[in-house]
Structure 1
Amino acid sequence: MTDSAEQSVTPRYGQAIVQSAERMGLVLPIELTERLRHAERVPLSWQDELWEAFCSASGDPLAGLRLGLEIQVGHLDSVGMLLVTCDTLGEALEELIEYAPVIGDGGEFQLHRKAEQVYIDYQPHLSVRQPERVEAVMASMLKLTRWATGGRFQPSGIWFAHSPLAPLEDYRQLIDCPLYFNAPCNHLGFPVRQLALSQIQANSALREHLRRLADQTLSALGQHSLSARVQQLVRTHPRWGKERIAEQLELSGRHLNRKLAEEGLSFKSLRESVQQQIACDALQADRRVADIAEQLGFSDENAFVRAFRRWQGVTPARYKAQGVDRD
């Protein structure tokens, strides 16, 4: 079993990728598939390897989208069943936001309303094949939501933060939903009234059992640990320092350091880990280096460049260029 402090993904999601590769006649590295077969949780780094191998072997720019349309409830671990046993779509989306880490640590979901529209946002924390993986997540949300509501769910559209990976006509042949690209964020939109849509598999008794199981899994994964709470606060407020974060946790800065040390961690290492991920995501979205430096609270652009080179081994400019080369 992997270290509970390490970011991970349910092996069932990896199985979906392997099964899709088998259906397509693709050959994935045997050593990688063997590792995945015996893992109770799949480290995110292994999942990165799997996605790279899958997309490279397929040669299909829409491999992620196709995979998302093949995802089944069982591929989402116990959370998949928890979502479909909720009474309404609105309740299911609230559970998704809470229990998404059981599926994997690759991103976060948020729900917001604007006028008469609701948007379920997906913020990825991925450095490998991010556009393909985002398309897989959004396509699976669309497919499973339609299935869970007996086909009554009618989306307003799906918005992607990245540029199209293939001609728009290729997308239209696969997915019958308005698609928008180069958006500020990734989200699925629909009218507010659809939050009340009933779900065909609603089962309150089973839902309560599955929620307890999901709570146990979250606890085992360390999602309720102090370090996880610190990381979440830093992700939301990347400019904040130790004292401000500690204040939100009703601790002194010194006490926060002591408690993190009990978990074998430090505030500095946690903060830099989150800053690194935010920086990588922002660079992949082609944001200006100066803007990223300001967002993360660096004194100036040069200080950020030095830190980023220490984190990644390359400058921000080179990191962006490598991303373009991979595309």
Structure 2
Amino acid sequence: MNTVNKLYAKALSQYAERAGLAISPTLLKMVDQQSRLPLALLDQLWDACCQTSKDPLVGLRIGLELQPGHLDSAGLLLMTCTTLGEALEQLTEVAPIVGGGGDFTLVRQKAGKAAVHYQPRLAKRQAERVEAALAAILNLGRWASGDSFTASEFRFMHEPLASRENYSRLLGVKACFQSESNALVFSEEQLALPLVQANNSLHTYLRHLTDRTLAELGCQSLSAETQRLIERYPRWGKDRIAVEMSLSGRHLNRKLAEEGYSFKSLRDSTLHRLALERLQGQDKLVDIADALGFSDESAFAKAFRRWTGTSPAKLRRRLSDEDNHSPSALDEGAN
């Protein structure tokens, strides 16, 4: 799951080349040698692009230049859908083909509004990459609809990386910050927009192809679906997750056992990974505990010690010391 399609990574390296960014040849060679990259390698590429660029909105620019081909078969599938709504609904299913860095969700809101929400699972440059992901949805929506798609606002959980005027000038859409979620908001009626490359027979073929790819990635197993739901709704327990999957809690446990898992083991491993990712950011421990569904910081610390043998505070200090004093894995490999 924590891998990224090479074509998406190539979109970054191609942008870096056009923008004249000095990216390490060693890193570019590592990217080019693999059909699917570990997410950690993409982390390095994003970090290199952001460090060498003098533009704080480099993430937005990369997202706005993303093309359907950079999303592999998933991008082609979405372009052949009949309507924008169908494409956005299928995006939530096939996004793992592009990469395991986060989840998209299509939400129909009140007052005739709809939104694509993005929940990242990113260790580095999260703000820039969230902006890239949502800017790509805007760009691909415009492209697929013959420029008929319009958005009313972007919502970002982070603080602005540049002036709000620069965001508006680049996007042509209002941007709001320190929101409760990362989302691209638009009128619900636009879900009915027809796509200019709609093609039912080609779409059927591409759907079979993407389903096979998802199966090869392990994205269609019950355990994988359970993990995705835990990531999206970490506060939910077994029974609530089971209801979402149209199962009883007991039936879910039986089916998971057939795959060699239990709900508890999946929940622990998923929350453990999410905790490690969040500890590399700036969130307070109490906020991380709340976001992961723990009753308080003490309960989170107790679970974390069970997972790792140390406290979250100690691990965060160790990670910080490593970042400040240790050479990167790439530098070590180059020396």
Determine if the TM-score, normalized by the shorter chain, exceeds 0.5: yes
Counterpart-to-counterpart distance in 1, 2:250 and 2:121: 24
* 69-78 vs 170-179, which moves further: 170-179
CA distance change for structure 1 residues 122 and 173 in 2, over 3 Å: closer, same or farther?
A: same
CA distance change for structure 1 residues 292 and 35 in 2, over 3 Å: closer, same or farther?
A: closer
Structure 1 residue runs without a partner (length 5+): 1-5
Deviation by residue 1:169-226 (Cα, 9 ceiling, x = unmatched): 2223311111111111011111111111111111111111111110010000000124
Residue type of the partner of 1:200? V
1:52 and 2:53 equivalent?
no
Q: CA deviation at 1:25?
A: 1.4
Q: Secondary structure at the match of 2:169?
A: helix
- Per the alignment, residue 225 of structure 1 pairs with 221
Deviation by residue 1:27-64 (Cα, 9 ceiling, x = unmatched): 22222211211211111111111111111111321111
Q: CA deviation at 1:260?
A: 2.1
- Per the alignment, residue 274 of structure 1 pairs with 270
* 158-167 vs 220-229, which moves further: 220-229
Structure 2 contact 301–311 (Cα < 8 Å) conserved: no
Structure 1 contact 11–39 (Cα < 8 Å) conserved: yes
Q: CA deviation at 1:285?
A: 8.1
Structure 1 contact 162–285 (Cα < 8 Å) conserved: no
CA distance change for structure 1 residues 76 and 237 in 2, over 3 Å: closer, same or farther?
A: closer
Counterpart-to-counterpart distance in 2, 1:105 and 1:272: 19
Q: How does 1:141-180 map to 2 (within 5 A)?
A: 141-180=137-176
Residue type of the partner of 1:34? K
Residue type of the partner of 1:65? L
Structure 1 contact 13–103 (Cα < 8 Å) conserved: yes
Residue type of the partner of 1:208? T
Q: How does 1:296-315 map to 2 (within 5 A)?
A: 296=292, 298=294, 300-305=296-301, 307-308=303-304, 311=308, 315=312
- Per the alignment, residue 106 of structure 1 pairs with 101
Q: How does 1:1-327 map to 2 (within 5 A)?
A: 6-115=1-110, 116-239=112-235, 247-248=248-249, 250-252=251-253, 256-257=256-257, 259-260=259-260, 270-279=266-275, 289-290=285-286, 292-294=288-290, 296=292, 298=294, 300-305=296-301, 307-308=303-304, 311=308, 315-316=312-313, 319=316
- Per the alignment, residue 3 of structure 1 pairs with none
Residue type of the partner of 2:95? A
CA distance change for structure 1 residues 315 and 216 in 2, over 3 Å: closer, same or farther?
A: same
Residue type of the partner of 1:178? K
Q: Secondary structure at the match of 1:153?
A: coil
Counterpart-to-counterpart distance in 1, 2:257 and 2:11: 41
Q: Secondary structure at the match of 2:71?
A: helix
Structure 2 length normalisation: TM-score? Answer: 0.83
User: Percent identical across equivalent pairs?
Assistant: 46
CA distance change for structure 1 residues 177 and 228 in 2, over 3 Å: closer, same or farther?
A: same
Size of the alignment, in residue pairs? Answer: 314
Structure 1 contact 61–166 (Cα < 8 Å) conserved: yes
Q: Secondary structure at the match of 1:250?
A: helix
Counterpart-to-counterpart distance in 2, 1:271 and 1:191: 36
Residue type of the partner of 1:190? F
Counterpart-to-counterpart distance in 1, 2:175 and 2:303: 37
Q: CA deviation at 1:270?
A: 3.4
Structure 1 contact 9–43 (Cα < 8 Å) conserved: yes
Q: CA deviation at 1:317?
A: 8.8
Residue type of the partner of 1:140? A
* 277-286 vs 55-64, which moves further: 277-286
Counterpart-to-counterpart distance in 1, 2:92 and 2:79: 14
Structure 1 length normalisation: TM-score? Answer: 0.84
Structure 1 contact 243–252 (Cα < 8 Å) conserved: no
Counterpart-to-counterpart distance in 2, 1:184 and 1:316: 25
CA distance change for structure 1 residues 12 and 312 in 2, over 3 Å: closer, same or farther?
A: farther
RMSD: 3.0
Q: Secondary structure at the match of 1:132?
A: helix
Q: CA deviation at 1:300?
A: 4.7
Structure 2 contact 289–296 (Cα < 8 Å) conserved: yes
Structure 2 contact 64–136 (Cα < 8 Å) conserved: yes
